[in-house]
Amino acid sequence: MKAGSRLEKILEAGHFAVTGELGPPRGADAEVIKKKAEHLRNKVDSINVTDNQTSVVRMCSMAVCKILIEMGLEPNLQMVCRDRNRIAIQSDLLGAYALGIRNVLCLSGDHNKFGDHPQCKNVFDLDSMQLIATVKRMRDEGKLLSDQELEGGVKFFIGAAANPFGDPFEFRVTRLAKKIEAGVDFIQTQCIYNMEKFKTWLDQANDEGLTEKCYILAGVTPLKSVGMARYMQKFVPGLDVPEEYITRLKGVEKKKQAAEGIKICVEQIEQLREMKGVAGVHLMAIEWEHKVPEITEAAKLLPRPEVD
Amino acid sequence: MIVAERKPIKEILAMVADFKKILLVGCKGCVTVCNAGGTKEVGILASALKIARKKEGNPIEIDEMTLERQCDPEYIDQLEEPLKNNNYDAVLSMACSVGPQFIARRYDNILVYPTLNTCFMGGALEHGVWAEFCQGCGNCIIHHFGGLCPIARCSKSLMNGPCGGSAGGKCEVSPDIDCVWHLIYDRMKQLGKLDQLREIFPIKDWSTSRDGGPRKIVREDLKK
């Protein structure tokens, strides 16, 4: 065991893991978080807390993680390189561990251009690969980047993202291999819609033995409507939404599109579960946390296994 | 070269609103090459300012001059006579921001204004189009990336491959920006060097960049 988090134990035991996601509020009301998080209780093994996603200012990820811990839930702290230099990153990691956070997801971060403060100065002192290596160094060598020995180490279960749909496609498995070499323990992928392309990526990863070196959690996001599907298809770079799903959503009356979207998501989870090399799913029900019980139930992911 | 572009005329008019007589100084260096602040642009800006002020019924007198360079004290010295012989309210520089700073450094009793926005170190992609190629990090690493710079040309300065937002060769930030990582990949593939991109590029020492404070190069062999 590297960190002994619930997520790590689930994966180590060979269970098909389920992680959820919670986006912090644009305000300081802890009740909003508690309400969202309750929908995820006993439905997922751990909960990603996003770090000012899309570069929009929200309550800080670490504070939300602490609230989840107090609720008896397990958080995955998302940490981006956009807003912190190596001093702040290492400092935050020490603080996160002291607060009981055991899973950390290392990300470059969405560019500030997309957010609510496009005028800001960005950082990118490290990239996501170097962030992974930094966390690993702190964990395994007990040292900061400066070689300063830590008084009291950090035992994190280290995660990172992978986008099988970004270009150049041929480099995507290489990038996964690099993240593993840098020290990643688990990967959560970008939302998958193009199952064939994902399969091609996964086959390559399997061929290179990469899926044996880290746990791959396949990312899924239920489509709420034709509008959302079209938006993701056209405007979210690095997302690949095949026309077939849009046709399916269009085929039902507007009121039933959400239900159809959930049906698609459940089918995807069932297909992903059958794929060699997929250790779990990362269910990103964006501002739709209350649908997680229904989706996990329908996808036969409940009850979540017990681990100690 | 240093690539710059002229500030909007309204902004420059606001700068000189209270002035009756100014000296407008161009530069024959980089800003002449990038058509921002050479003799020709000095003439155009002077005319534009004079016309605008005449329309307002508040004419302005503008003397024009273009120095060999504004980033060398010896050329800045050439302003001494005109400044002594005229009662200018201010000097407006059409060089990159080094120019007005050199003028201010040399002459402590005259107001100095920049008329250009100094944008980046780059080159011309075609006539009328310039792009950024270097960020001046002080420790060049482009040979690790097929001769292309991910520090200056990747929106996130990523050193280990493209982020998830690279699509169709373009950066997620704008369809006008090429994803340099896509270009690096294609070039390394062409060169048969893809293996190099598999290695993790280590954390960069930014102390040679602006992060280490303002920089200075001292060449003892050249100092008098």
Angle in degrees, CA B60, B11, B80, rounded to 5: 55
B86 and B141: one domain? no
Q: Which residue of B141, B144, B153, B158 to mutate against A (max A Cβ within 10 Å)?
A: B158
User: Does the distance separating the beta carbons of A113 and B161 come in below 8 Å?
Assistant: no
Q: Which residue of A has its CA nearest to B172?
A: A237
How far off is chain B from A283, nearest CA to CA, in Å? 18
Q: Which residue of B203, B207, B209 to mutate against A (max A Cβ within 10 Å)?
A: B203
User: Does the distance separating the beta carbons of B182 and A167 come in below 8 Å?
Assistant: yes
The answer as to whether B125 is a domain residue is no
Structure tokens at B23: 């000296």
Partner-chain residue, chosen from B166, B174, B203, that has the shortest CB–CB distance to A167: B166
Chain B residues touching residue A165 (CB < 8 angstroms): 164
How far off is chain B from A122, nearest CA to CA, in Å? 8
Contact between residue A289 and residue A237 where contact means Cβ atoms under 8 Å apart: no
* Distance (Å, whole) CA A227 – CA B180: 32
Q: Residues with Cβ < 8 Å from B170, sequence gap 6 or more? A: A237, B177, B178, B179
Say how many domains are in chain B: 2
User: Does the distance separating the beta carbons of A237 and B166 come in below 8 Å?
Assistant: yes
In chain A the domains, ranked by start, together with CATH numbers, are 6-298 (3.20.20.220)
Residue A91, helix vs strand vs coil: helix
- pLDDT for the residue numbered A296: 98
Q: Which uninterrupted H or E stretch holds A37?
A: helix A30-40
User: Does the distance separating the beta carbons of B163 and A166 come in below 8 Å?
Assistant: yes
- pLDDT for the residue numbered A286: 85
B107 and B159: one domain? no
Length of chain A: 308
The answer as to whether B215 is a domain residue is no
Along the 308 residues of chain A, how does pLDDT read in single tens digits? 999 999 999 999 999 999 999 999 999 999 999 999 999 999 999 999 999 999 999 999 999 999 999 999 999 999 999 999 999 999 999 999 999 999 999 999 999 999 999 999 999 999 999 999 999 999 999 999 999 999 988 999 999 999 999 999 999 999 999 999 999 999 999 999 999 999 999 999 999 999 999 999 999 999 999 999 999 999 887 789 999 999 999 999 999 999 999 999 999 999 999 999 999 999 999 889 999 999 999 999 999 999 98
How far off is chain B from A129, nearest CA to CA, in Å? 7
Partner-chain residue, chosen from A114, A130, A166, that has the shortest CB–CB distance to B164: A166
* Distance (Å, whole) CA A17 – CA B165: 26
B173 and B76: one domain? no
Chain B residues touching residue A146 (CB < 8 angstroms): none
B100 and B7: one domain? yes
Q: In which domain, by residue range, is B164 found?
A: 137-210
A86-98 helix and A61-70 helix, angle to the nearest 10 degrees: 10
- pLDDT for the residue numbered A237: 76
Count of CB atoms situated within 10 Å of the CB of A99? 15
CA distances from residue A121 to A110, A124, B32, B141, B174 in whole angstroms, order as listed = 14, 10, 30, 23, 18
One-letter amino acid identity for A105? L
* Distance (Å, whole) CA B130 – CA B121: 9
Final residue belonging to a domain, choices B119, B152, B180? B119
Rg for chain A, CA atoms, rounded: 19
The answer as to whether B217 is a domain residue is no
Chain B residues touching residue A122 (CB < 8 angstroms): 156
How far off is chain B from A229, nearest CA to CA, in Å? 18
The answer as to whether B131 is a domain residue is no
* Distance (Å, whole) CA B147 – CA A262: 47
- Write down the residue that tokens 């008098």 correspond to: B224
Contact between residue B173 and residue B154 where contact means Cβ atoms under 8 Å apart: no
* Distance (Å, whole) CA A167 – CA A163: 9
Along the 224 residues of chain B, how does pLDDT read in single tens digits? 999 999 999 999 999 999 999 999 999 999 999 999 999 999 999 999 999 999 999 999 999 999 999 999 999 999 999 999 999 999 999 999 999 999 999 999 999 999 999 999 999 999 999 999 999 999 999 999 999 999 999 999 999 999 999 999 999 999 999 999 999 999 999 999 999 999 999 999 999 999 999 999 999 999 98
B23 and B85: one domain? yes
How far off is chain B from A215, nearest CA to CA, in Å? 19
B8 and B115: one domain? yes
* Cis peptide upstream of residue A303 (ω within 30 degrees of 0): yes
Structure tokens at B76: 């800045």
B111 and B179: one domain? no
User: Does the distance separating the beta carbons of A182 and B155 come in below 8 Å?
Assistant: no
Chain A residues touching residue B175 (CB < 8 angstroms): none
What CATH number does residue B21 fall under?
3.40.50.2300
- pLDDT for the residue numbered A295: 98
Q: Which residue of A90, A108, A179 to mutate against B (max B Cβ within 10 Å)?
A: A108
User: Does the distance separating the beta carbons of A122 and B167 come in below 8 Å?
Assistant: no
- Write down the residue that tokens 């024959």 correspond to: B28
